[in-house]
Amino acid sequence: MRFLLFCKLVYKLVLVGDDTKPLMVGRKAVLRNIFVIALMCVSSSVVADSSIKGVNAEAAVDAELGLRLPDGFKATVFADQVGRVRHIVAADNGWLYGALARPKDGMGAIALKDSDGDGVAEETIYFAKGLKGTGIGIYDGHLYFGTDVSILRWKLPESGEPKTGPELIAHGFAEKRQHAAKTFAFDGKGGLYVNVGAPSNACMEKMRTKGSKGMEPCPILEEFGGIWKFDASKTMQHQQKEGVRYATGIRNAVALDWNARADSLYVVPHGRDQLAEFFPEYYSVEDSAELPAEEFHKVAEGADMGWPYSYFDHRKGKRMMMPEYGGDGEKLSDRGQMPLVGFPGHWAPNDLLFLKSDALPEGYHLGAFIGFHGSWNRAPMPQQGYRVVYVPMDAAGNVTGDWITFADGFAGADVIKSPRDAKHRPMGLAEDAAGALYISSLMSGGRIWKITYEGN
């Protein structure tokens, strides 16, 4: 029955069209459309949600390993005590590279290699002297690095650390402390998409001050609170000159990735903090722990995700007016697009990954892995969200089912009252050429796990 409904939906979308796609006309188009429907319906019957089960809540967490995975998956501690490692990327040269949020021995990046294939890196090289950052990525034979104020790149070496000096690709980002991490994604066609987080909670007139109203229009959006697009290969591009604001209304999308199959950018921004603290008349501490949702979005050029004027309430399934802009927890808002998924509040999505290989079971091929760092702003309720989830999707980039927890147990305890008590907190995600996954955490000295599918 669900299958039939799905086919009907596909029929409606493809044949009838929607607002964003012009209708194809003529006999050829109809034939093509029927072919597309048939293909999608067939593939949808193959991609069964039952093939992805998520972690077994009954299974014990291996405390030494520091995580729990679904049946059939195996993890090793790929590297330990590496420092404050943030985003990570695996190169075809067999090395894993990571950005460090705080320099280790004066170096802002790390290169790791497992030469004997036992799942544990034997070689460790620190590089990027004098730098620190969060973003790291590979495109067109170069290793890119995002500091808080720039995007740099080195020629990707055949082995180990870069051998040449860095080129400055993008600069001119204002120096801020809050939400300053410049994470990025590539579209594979020469475009570089950089997260420029808003140095603000909800664009209040007075920073994080009770009773302060939101500014209308929010001037922060001119320079921050969105995704800026650059040419991945041009040097010395200034954010306000060569950079183009690609999408707006994004408070801080540390987690972003390009979905090559759907040929689109996706983001999972951090939602605002402190609803009950500033608006106790509208939000209980329980509401404030759950709200606003952490939103998963497909982002087209020109899209607006609504910050700071609105937020998504996943319990109501509706977009709400931000209280700094007249909201009261009940008033709806039409500013900002609807998310694909709304996750519980304050889980802090810090990386998003679409796989390129098919090494994992089929149900994992098309969807999104999201690494949640875990909350600090659910107090006095317990903190939550120290996990990696998987959102099942189809080849067109639509969500096809409920998300599952792919990895948890990082925090090391069932109840975490204070974030510093969490032993590990997921941060970056990567996939290597053979299809193995990597998860980084910057707590307890810094750790990176390698995850492979072994079957049952």
Does 223 bind another protein (CB under 8 A)? Our answer is: no
Stretch that binds another protein, among 46-54, 91-99, 121-129, 206-214 (CB under 8 A): 206-214
Stretch that binds another protein, among 112-120, 309-317, 363-371, 375-383 (CB under 8 A): 375-383
Does 286 bind another protein (CB under 8 A)? Our answer is: no
Stretch that binds another protein, among 217-225, 258-266, 373-381, 448-456 (CB under 8 A): 373-381
- Angle of helix 2-11 relative to helix 27-46, nearest 10 degrees, comes to 150
Stretch that binds another protein, among 204-212, 242-250, 258-266, 397-405 (CB under 8 A): 204-212
Q: Give the per-residue contact string, 86-125, with another protein (x = CB under 8 A; - = no).
A: ---------------xx-----------------------
- Smallest gap from Cβ 210 to another protein, in A, equals 8
d(CA 328, CA 321): 7
Largest CA distance in the chain: 67
Give Cβ neighbours of residue 218 (< 8 Å, ≥ 6 apart): 203, 225, 308, 309
68 token code pair: 């729990």
Stretch that binds another protein, among 30-38, 200-208, 300-308, 391-399 (CB under 8 A): 200-208
- Smallest gap from Cβ 393 to another protein, in A, equals 31
Does 417 bind another protein (CB under 8 A)? Our answer is: yes
Stretch that binds another protein, among 24-32, 177-185, 263-271, 357-365 (CB under 8 A): 177-185
Q: How far is CA 298 from CA 45, 301, 383, in A?
A: 24, 10, 28
Cis peptide before 392 (omega within 30 of 0): no
Footprint of another protein on 319-358 (CB under 8 A): none
**Neighbouring C-beta atoms of residue 158, cutoff 10 Å:** 10
**What is the identity of the amino acid at 282?**
Y
d(CA 416, CA 384): 7
Kindly tell me which residue out of 114, 257, 273, 394 binds another protein, with binding defined by CB under 8 A. Answer: 273
Q: Give the per-residue contact string, 45-84, with another protein (x = CB under 8 A; - = no).
A: ---------------------------------------x
The smaller minimum CB distance to another protein, of residues 211 and 317, is found at 211
Does 202 bind another protein (CB under 8 A)? Our answer is: no
**Contact predicate 182/146, CB 8 Å:** yes
Kindly tell me which residue out of 147, 377, 384, 452 binds another protein, with binding defined by CB under 8 A. Answer: 377
Q: Which helix (H) or strand (E) holds 32?
A: helix 27-46
The smaller minimum CB distance to another protein, of residues 337 and 383, is found at 383
Kindly tell me which residue out of 63, 207, 300, 434 binds another protein, with binding defined by CB under 8 A. Answer: 207
d(CA 191, CA 202): 29
Kindly tell me which residue out of 161, 242, 277, 287 binds another protein, with binding defined by CB under 8 A. Answer: 277
Placement of tokens 């954010």 in the chain? 239
b/e 96-130 (16+ beta carbons within 10 angstroms → b): bbbbbbebbeebbbbbbbbeeeebebeeeebbbee
Does 2 bind another protein (CB under 8 A)? Our answer is: no
Q: Which helix (H) or strand (E) holds 450?
A: strand 447-453
Stretch that binds another protein, among 106-114, 237-245, 386-394, 415-423 (CB under 8 A): 415-423
CA-based torsion, 337, 339, 344, 346: positive or negative:
negative
Does 421 bind another protein (CB under 8 A)? Our answer is: yes
Kindly tell me which residue out of 106, 356, 418, 433 binds another protein, with binding defined by CB under 8 A. Answer: 418
d(CA 289, CA 219): 28
Binding residues for another protein, per CB under 8 A? 84, 101-102, 177-180, 199, 206-209, 273-274, 277, 376-377, 379-380, 417-421, 442-443
